[in-house]
Amino acid sequence: MEKSRVKTLQDLIILSAEEFGDKPFLREKNGNSDVDTSFAQLCENSRKVSSFIAERSNGEHIHAAVIGGTGSAYLTAYFGTVCMGNVIVPLDAQLAGEDLCDHLRRADVSIFFYDKKFAPQLDDIKKGCPMIKTFVSLQDDENSQEFTMSKILESYGAMDWQPVKPSDLSSILYTSGTTGKSKGVMLTHSNLIDNTMCQDNESTPDDVLLSVLPIHHVYCFTCDILLSLRYGCLVCVNDSIFRIAQNLKRFKPTVMLLVPMIAETTYKRIKAVHESSPEKSMKEIADSVFGGRLKGIYSGGAYLNPELVMNYRELGIPIAQGYGMTECSPRISTANWKDESVGDVGTIVNGCEVKIVDGEIWAKSPSVMQGYYKNPEATAESLTPDGWLMTGDLGHVDEKNHLFITGRKKNLIILSNGENVSPEELENKFSGLDWVGDVLVYAEDGVITAEVYFSPEYLSSHSREEAVEQFRTHVDSINKTVPFAKTIHCLRVRDVEFDKTTSKKIRRNQAVQGEKLD
């Protein structure tokens, strides 16, 4: 695809349809058979969704949210919204209840495209979000009175899109914040296009990807979806996180984008099978696990152990590690499979400048966000007036432009599956309880731990056992309401108050002192 012709997401969709036409772009499971959506169909269907939105927006710019798993309907809602100049808000499919309403309200959403599994929550969402005028189910739903994607595609004609400007806002993506409340990262068309086009890789139209990461993450969206539109690759949809192993065998991908936890676990399994069936070589087992066509893996989202990279290389599967963040659409650095260096997170992508300020990585590029939506204070904390993004990560760059990450400046807990967990978000769930003096949440050997200091006042009239019981019950109730990755699995109780700063904030580096509860 001629880079100079691609300035906006609309250009990318139109040019991919022109260049790759009826070639399948997306493959989804439907029972034992597969359903394909071609590049041309994605463009045509997106134009129909734009016609539907135009009828409802009276010429005004609107924000539409989309929530659900990767699929043709999801992407059609996405591109139908942004290619006509409106703003899409992709939401985490694990959100629910008031949290979901809060995200919808804060992003000023007026049209909501939702996965059918959210249908039981619609009444509450309507009450909590009166500004949403239109609801569209991504799947057919005979029990619902709302619009459905398939009816829109049947009933509306394709819109002739007016050009959009590269500087137009295209999306608001929520990211975990250190203050406990997620922030809406504003990305323009040119932010996402810059990140898609800045670096050439080895992809070809013969490549087949298995997309396993959550689609609301920009890492998945840019690297699985936008790069496949650019190169004409086929993206196969992993229908459930439970079925990665089955789907690898079914779709036989040539390229995969993974987080380290998946690569680690898969390697562990290959090794275990080899130990129980030593007559099979590790390479044979790896071929059977991955489908036999895998050329290489791209890894991102969390720290990748260099030993694992070496282990995969021995299997003939190179892993290229990258680094980035939602605020940078996301790639700041990337590697290719031929790069033999170990321990770094790739080289800095074209067009991106990196400098190290007091040990912290700062990045400046056309991919850097416009700021956080309606949150100038948080924007000022992350972006300098002259456009440098302060990443909050510590690291250095070597003479060959390889980037190394040495730590996290922020408090965010980064689990090895790439999930970011804001400790404050979990700590906030302990506020207002009479038995809690203070609580600190942190990761201990990869396990989320809550350490509590019981309120002395509570202990003056209750036994310690009663307080421990309250603690356990409360953590159980929190665990039922948060995504699995955020559940608390280790409890600690301390008898000495936490050390605090002058502004009465708990110092975070003093954890793991309390007694561990079984």
* Closest CB 475 distance from another protein, rounded Å: 12
Q: Does residue 473 interact with another protein by CB under 8 A? A: no
- Other beta carbons within 10 angstroms of residue 168's beta carbon come to 18
> In sequence order, what are the beta bridge partners of 111?
64, 134
Q: Does residue 276 interact with another protein by CB under 8 A? A: yes
Exposure string of 81-112, with b = 16+ CB inside 10 Å and e = fewer, is bbbbbbbbbbbbbbbbeebbbebbebbbbbbb
Q: Does residue 262 interact with another protein by CB under 8 A? A: yes
Stretch that binds another protein, among 3-11, 14-22, 34-42, 244-252 (CB under 8 A): 244-252
Of 57, 121, 178, 265, the residue at the interface with another protein (CB under 8 A) is 265
Q: Does residue 446 interact with another protein by CB under 8 A? A: yes
Q: Does residue 242 interact with another protein by CB under 8 A? A: yes
Stretch that binds another protein, among 201-209, 239-247, 364-372, 451-459 (CB under 8 A): 239-247
- Contact letters for another protein, residues 405-434 (x by CB under 8 A): -----------xx-----------------
Q: Does residue 269 interact with another protein by CB under 8 A? A: yes
- For another protein, the closer of residues 2 and 445 by Cβ is 445
Q: Which of 176, 213, 174, 170 is nearest to 195 (CA)?
A: 170
Please work out, in degrees rounded to the nearest 5, the angle formed at the alpha carbon of residue 466 by the alpha carbons of 464 and 472: 105
Q: Which of 183, 175, 187 is nearest to 366 (CA)?
A: 187
Of 489, 500, 507, 508, the residue at the interface with another protein (CB under 8 A) is 489
183-188/147-148 β-pairing: unpaired
Q: Does residue 277 interact with another protein by CB under 8 A? A: no
Q: Does residue 243 interact with another protein by CB under 8 A? A: yes
Please work out, in degrees rounded to the nearest 5, the angle formed at the alpha carbon of residue 492 by the alpha carbons of 490 and 494: 170
Q: Does residue 517 interact with another protein by CB under 8 A? A: no
Q: Does residue 240 interact with another protein by CB under 8 A? A: yes
Q: State the Cα–Cα distance between residues 305 and 315, nearest whole angstrom.
A: 16
- For another protein, the closer of residues 1 and 285 by Cβ is 285
* Closest CB 260 distance from another protein, rounded Å: 10
Of 131, 272, 310, 357, the residue at the interface with another protein (CB under 8 A) is 272
Q: Are 43 and 16 in contact (CB under 8 A)?
A: yes
Q: State the Cα–Cα distance between residues 204 and 395, nearest whole angstrom.
A: 33
Stretch that binds another protein, among 259-267, 289-297, 345-353, 360-368 (CB under 8 A): 259-267
* Closest CB 240 distance from another protein, rounded Å: 7
Q: Does residue 468 interact with another protein by CB under 8 A? A: no
Q: Which of 380, 376, 411 is nearest to 393 (CA)?
A: 411
Q: Are 365 and 351 in contact (CB under 8 A)?
A: yes
Of 380, 398, 484, 515, the residue at the interface with another protein (CB under 8 A) is 484
> How far is the first Cα of the chain from the last one, in angstroms, to the nearest whole number?
58
> In sequence order, what are the beta bridge partners of 390?
362
Instruction: Give the number of residues in contact with another protein, rule: CB under 8 A.
Output: 26
- Contact letters for another protein, residues 310-349 (x by CB under 8 A): ----------------------------------------
Angle between helices 260-276 and 282-290 (to 10 degrees): 130
Helix (H) / strand (E) element for 236: namely strand 234-237
* Closest CB 217 distance from another protein, rounded Å: 16
Of 127, 400, 480, 504, the residue at the interface with another protein (CB under 8 A) is 480
Stretch that binds another protein, among 12-20, 71-79, 258-266, 365-373 (CB under 8 A): 258-266
Beta strands in 246-401 (DSSP E): 255-258, 296-299, 319-321, 323-324, 331-334, 347-348, 353-357, 360-364, 371-372, 389-397
* Closest CB 259 distance from another protein, rounded Å: 9
Q: Does residue 509 interact with another protein by CB under 8 A? A: no
- For another protein, the closer of residues 179 and 265 by Cβ is 265
Asked if omega into 376 is within 30° of 0 (cis), the reply is no
Helix (H) / strand (E) element for 74: namely helix 72-82
Q: Exposed, middle or buried by CB within 10 Å (0-12, 13-18, 19+), for 345?
A: buried
Q: What are phi and psi of 162, to 5 degrees?
A: -80, 150
Of 447, 469, 477, 495, the residue at the interface with another protein (CB under 8 A) is 447
Near another protein in 113-142, by CB under 8 A: 117
The DSSP-derived string for 117-155 is GGGGGHHHHHHH-TT--EEEESS--TT--SEEHHHHHHH
Stretch that binds another protein, among 22-30, 199-207, 238-246, 293-301 (CB under 8 A): 238-246
Stretch that binds another protein, among 135-143, 217-225, 242-250, 393-401 (CB under 8 A): 242-250
- Which 3-state string (H, E, C) describes 486-497? HCCCEEEEECCC
* Closest CB 286 distance from another protein, rounded Å: 15
**Residues at the interface with another protein (CB under 8 A):** 117, 240-246, 261-262, 265, 268-269, 272-273, 276, 416-417, 446-447, 479-480, 484-485, 489-490
